[in-house]
Amino acid sequence: MALCFFPLYIILVAIVATIAVADDQDEKIGSSACPSKEQQQQQQQHNHCTLYLAESSIPNAGLGIYSGVQLGINETLMSRHLSDVVIPIYDIELHNDYNNKFQWVVSDYSWLASKLGVDIEAKRVTALAPGLGALANNHHALANIAFNGFPLRDYDDEQEGLHYHPTSSGSITPYYDLKHYATSSIEAGSELFHDYGARWGEKRVASLGPIPIFLINASLSVHDALAKDIWNNNVRLVRNNTANNSASTLDGTSHLGAESEKIITPALREMLLTRSCQAKDVRTEAALSFPYSAMEDAMEIGSARAYLQLQNYIRPLSWLEENGRCIDGLSIAPSSSILHNNVGGGGRGAFASRNFNEFDIITTTPLLPINRTLLETYQFSMNHPGKQRKLSTTKFGRQLLLNYCHGHRDSSLLFFPYGPAVNMINHGGKNSNSNARIQFSNFSSFHHDEWKSYYVEDILNKDKSTRLIFDIIATKSIQSGDEIFLDYGKEWENAWELYVNSWNPPGDGVQSSNQDKNKKPYTSDIHRPSAFRKSIGMSDELFPETWRDITK
């Protein structure tokens, strides 16, 4: 039997070509729903963490959130024990006399009330959903998570107003168990994206750049299609212009060298845009803003996908372990605080999802700086029924959001933490119940420690971005399933005890839903003037002198 021997170099070329084709197909098709054996082993190695906080793959977008596990389409991201609560913010513009100059960073992290079913609380409501609802960045084209319906509500009409019985009614948000699901298969290490709507990105081109975000048929956008036509109609011209600045490969194609690509790519893009009369279209320009070597792939899979592929929106789990923070250390369940101390009524609580040793970081959360005075609410009257409202100078109460903020008695500066479940950590006092404390983090370049030397006005007038981060630190050994408690401070504890001791239910404690609907201007518990309002105390050691702007 005759044997045929092929030259070794031909075999090697064939192998290289096969690998190159396979790699190219993988890049064009995207991540497979079935992970490779290597990916499975890598996932098992790091399967103790399901959510990471790390630098977003979108340039200038700050922090992002990444899945530590693979998820199938329609799979729930988090169980009920790590679902989001929702904090309604009502008539914030009205209560600040429609002053469009006030800095309200919360607006970039909150949702339309109708999106989350909390629009019944007032005429104009926004919904703040700490956790995935606030942490996941926006990408209209590549959104891979969405809300799984509305949150549950503690007091529905069927309960006939029995929500007035607990002392904590009106002092905690009634909205909870907001779930998310995967709208597509998600590979472990992928950044999680919500869809805020196309216009959200359009309004932020100055800060984020003209990121290609529109898709048609889950592939190409209008701008992509136009860019592809420009590319295809001028491909011969492109080849000719790059021929003298490229190196030939085995398959006969040309690729620019790194230095040549730096010079030619911007000029080439300008030439193509000029020839197509699209020089002023920033979206089309963005679709053509790829290195020459990546242009053909971008024209095939769409610029939005290609853009984030270049930015590594799927991170190796080892990279996330080294450069990110695990933030799934807490779960949510009914609090045991009412059983353990006399300052109970905590509603839901945060529980350890794994064991922690003393000094371990339980979780990490970015912070939103808020001006305390913006949370004041005032009485108002209707100038014309259902239309214009006139604000008075008589205070009505404070926004519910105040109860979830951290601050100091001598400062107008508040911090709202918006990591998963951190707002559910209840007060344990200085006794044996407290097992955690907060400290400013040194995590990543996104925590700016120099802000501690800034004055309050400087911080509140900064751009709308997160610059400070909290770590929640274990102060003793904690077992999985233990409830986590902080010390809110003696002032908070005294205020709560005074509130509980003086609290009486209105009337017989029951008010029907029909009566609720007829009560003006606000009807639900969170608007009761007598409801408890107090920010969580920050110690003198933690709170810099430069932030103390309230003189006694």
What DSSP letter does each residue of 365-399 carry, written as one string?
EEEEEEEGGGGEEEEEEESSTTS-EEEEEEEEEE-
pTM (2 d.p.): 0.74
- Which of 161-175, 295-309, 365-379, 532-546 has the largest mean confidence? 532-546
pLDDT band at 334 (very low <50, low <70, confident <90, very high): confident
pLDDT-derived band at 208, boundaries 50, 70, 90? low
Q: Mean pLDDT throughout 415-419?
A: 96
CB atoms within 10 A of CB 530: 13
Most confident listed range (38-42, 213-217, 351-355): 351-355
Of 4-8, 148-152, 479-483, 491-495, minimum mean pLDDT range: 4-8
What is the pLDDT, as a whole number, of residue 498? 92
Q: How far apart are CA 135 and CA 336, in angstroms?
A: 28
Residue written as tokens 């080892």?
A: 318
CA dihedral 445, 446, 452, 455 (to 10 degrees): 130
Q: Are 364 and 53 in contact (CB under 8 A)?
A: yes
Separation CA 544–CA 525 (nearest Å): 35
Which range is most confident: 64-68, 466-470, 510-514? 64-68
Q: What is the mean pLDDT of residues 24-53?
A: 53
Domains of the chain: 80-187+320-547 (2.170.270.10), 222-304 (no CATH)
Closest Cα to residue 324, out of 285, 291, 366, 288?
366
Question: Closest by alpha carbon to 87, among 159, 150, 181, 176?
Answer: 176
Pairing status of strand 406-407 against strand 413-417: antiparallel
Q: How far apart are CA 140 and CA 127, in angstroms?
A: 20
Query: What letter would DSSP give residue 389?
Result: E
| Res. 99 pLDDT band, cuts 50 70 90 | low
Prior bond of 521 cis (ω within 30°): yes
Nearest partner of 303 among 319, 291, 317, judged by Cα: 291
Confidence class of residue 4 from pLDDT cuts 50, 70 and 90?
very low
Q: What is the pLDDT of residues 151-207, one digit of tens each?
A: 888 764 333 333 444 677 788 898 988 999 999 999 999 999 998 876 665 565 555
Half-sphere exposure of 385 (CA within 13 A, CB side): 0
Residue 481's φ and ψ, nearest 5 degrees, are 100, -10
Greater model confidence, 20 or 280:
280
By the 8 A CB rule, do 272 and 230 touch? yes
Mean pLDDT of 430-445: 86
User: Is the per-residue pLDDT at 545 higher than 80?
Assistant: yes
Strands 361-371, 413-417: pairing is antiparallel
Q: What tokens does 528 get?
A: 């009761």
Residue 474: pLDDT over 80: yes
55-66 average pLDDT score: 86
Segment 437-465 mean pLDDT: 83
Q: H or E element: which one contains 477?
A: none
Cα(68)–Cα(66) distance, integer angstroms: 6
Residue predicted with more confidence, 390 or 53: 53
- Least confident segment among 73-77, 204-208, 360-364, 472-476: 204-208
Q: What pLDDT is attached to residue 379?
A: 73
